[in-house]
Amino acid sequence: MKRRPSAQVILVGSLALMSAGACSFKSETAPSRFYMLRSLPTDASSPATQGAGGPVLVLGPVRVAAYLDRPQMVTQGSGSEVKLSEFERWAEPLMDNIRTVLANDLSVLVPTDRISFYPARLPPDMDLRIAVEVLRFDGSLGGDAVLEARWTLFGSDAEEPILTKRSRFEHATAGPGYDAFVEALNRALEALSREVAQEVRRVVGRT
């Protein structure tokens, strides 16, 4: 006569199967990786450290296109396809990261140590306000990273624009991975910082 397996044996066997399934699921789920854009380095020889002051600038608003306003890294596929990576992500909102990098870069390139963020109260001695709209910030892995932006300089009255420009920068990636892709995006953002800084210096008479 066959003995029926006890309830304890059945329970242990079920737990073992569940544990094996959980381990299998974990092994198939890649850990997320997080990225930050970086500012230009500053050191003792940087113009920004050779004395306080500089023009009074207000940066903002800085906006990104809606398709970029998400944690996932965005790349371009074939045709009109846009790809979102679930495991390659920005460490903070992209709009905030871009704004911080632009402000730090301008402080070095103009140079100035008097930069504030819109929409805080505009300083009475403000020289320029800089508004930036990022229209595209993507590209292809192993290909080119692309930045397109529309930016505007406003004078001390902060209403009538002095200059409005649409800029586009492309930088080749140095490899097929996301590390190389973010590095190329960073170089494109640095190019934008340099272009904006050049116009700021021209307008405020610091060329």
Angle at alpha carbon of residue 122, lines to 119 and 126, rounded to 5°: 130
**Class of 34-203 per CATH?**
alpha beta
Q: Is 40 left (phi over 0), alpha (psi -120 to 50) or beta?
A: beta
Strand order in the sheet with 144-154: 115-117, 57-64, 128-139, 144-154, 161-172
50 exposed, middle or buried (CB, 10 Å; 0-12, 13-18, 19+)? exposed
CA distances, 121 to each of 46, 74, 94, 106, 124 (Å):
29, 34, 24, 20, 9
Q: Tell me the one-letter amino acid at 197.
A: A
Would you give per-residue pLDDT tens digits along the chain (207 residues)?
A: 555 555 444 444 444 444 545 444 444 577 999 999 999 998 634 554 444 689 999 999 999 999 999 999 999 988 889 999 999 999 999 999 999 999 999 999 999 999 999 988 889 899 999 999 999 999 999 999 999 999 999 998 767 899 999 999 999 999 999 999 999 999 999 999 999 999 999 999 855
Q: For position 50, what pLDDT does the model report?
A: 47
C-beta separation of 33 from 87 below 8 A: yes
Question: Are the C-beta atoms of residues 167 and 151 closer than 8 Å to each other?
Answer: yes
pLDDT of res. 160: 84
Spatial CA neighbour of 196 closest among 113, 122, 101 = 101
Bridge partners for 117 per DSSP:
59
Three-state DSSP at 146 gives: strand
List residues bridging with 137 in a β-sheet.
Answer: 147
Task: Report pTM.
Answer: 0.82
- State how beta strands 144-154 and 82-90 pair: unpaired
